[in-house]
Structure 1
């Protein structure tokens, strides 16, 4: 799996995030984005993603199935360590992290 996070116009790409599904990669990217926001001390931020299912799970709108439940639990643990993050769905064509991954190939 590959994941990317973009903040302030700078992309951070991890090319070897292990083996897994695209859904797992989306969760790993969301967790990486939240960790980065916390490291940078950001208080008012929005996490953007193009995986509607992951966004819905992170927002508590739908239940996380099977293996994704562990990622959701990790998200809630990280989220509890500061201001509650807002998670919003965007189109794939607007996702700067996805664009960065596509360009880096």
Structure 2
């Protein structure tokens, strides 16, 4: 039987200014799904909400196995249990991520360079300089 390739879902989030309105993106199969209705917060909140958004997008796709890829070392280390939640809001986001992952968790949550993060590239394109 052929081995199935894991789905890759890229995520990124930010706010302009920081703190300010949050926007997040998840890119899966070349298509970006953006949310701008998440209220205000910090860039850290935005990165967490982007990871959660990517998890929801991946789960909704029905993929049996998926990786979540982002460029926030802090959020990825916390999500993988390699670092403690850095703040009370990080603890809330981490708990929500773990609860949502439940029975259908990602195979991996891993770091990629900023220039390889398709979600970050997409968000940057929304804000011409």
Q: Which consecutive unaligned segments of at least 5 residues does structure 1 have?
A: none
Counterpart of 2:102 in structure 1 is 80
Contact 1:2 1:25 in 2 (8 A): yes
Matched, 1:63 2:84: yes
Counterpart of 1:51 in structure 2 is 72
Normalising to structure 1: TM-score of the pair?
Answer: 0.94
Between the two proteins, the alignment pairs up a number of residues equal to 105
**Which structure has the higher relative contact order (CA within 8 Å, separation 6+)?**
1
Matched, 1:4 2:18: no
Matches of 1:67 and 1:85 in 2, distance apart?
25
Please state how far the C-alpha of 1:18 moved relative to its aligned partner. 1.2
Q: Which has the higher helix share?
A: 1
Task: Give the alignment's Cα RMSD to 1 decimal.
Answer: 1.1
**Structure with bigger gyration radius:** 2
Q: Which consecutive unaligned segments of at least 5 residues does structure 2 have?
A: 1-21
Q: 1:32-60: CA deviations, max 9, x gaps?
A: 00011111111211100100000000000
Matches of 1:13 and 1:38 in 2, distance apart?
16
Q: Which has the higher strand share?
A: 2
Range moving further from structure 2, 38-47 or 75-84: 75-84
Mapping for residues 26-37 of structure 1, pairs under 5 Å: 26-37=47-58
Normalising to structure 2: TM-score of the pair?
Answer: 0.77
Counterpart of 2:6 in structure 1 is none
Q: Which runs of 4+ in 1 moved over 2 A?
A: none
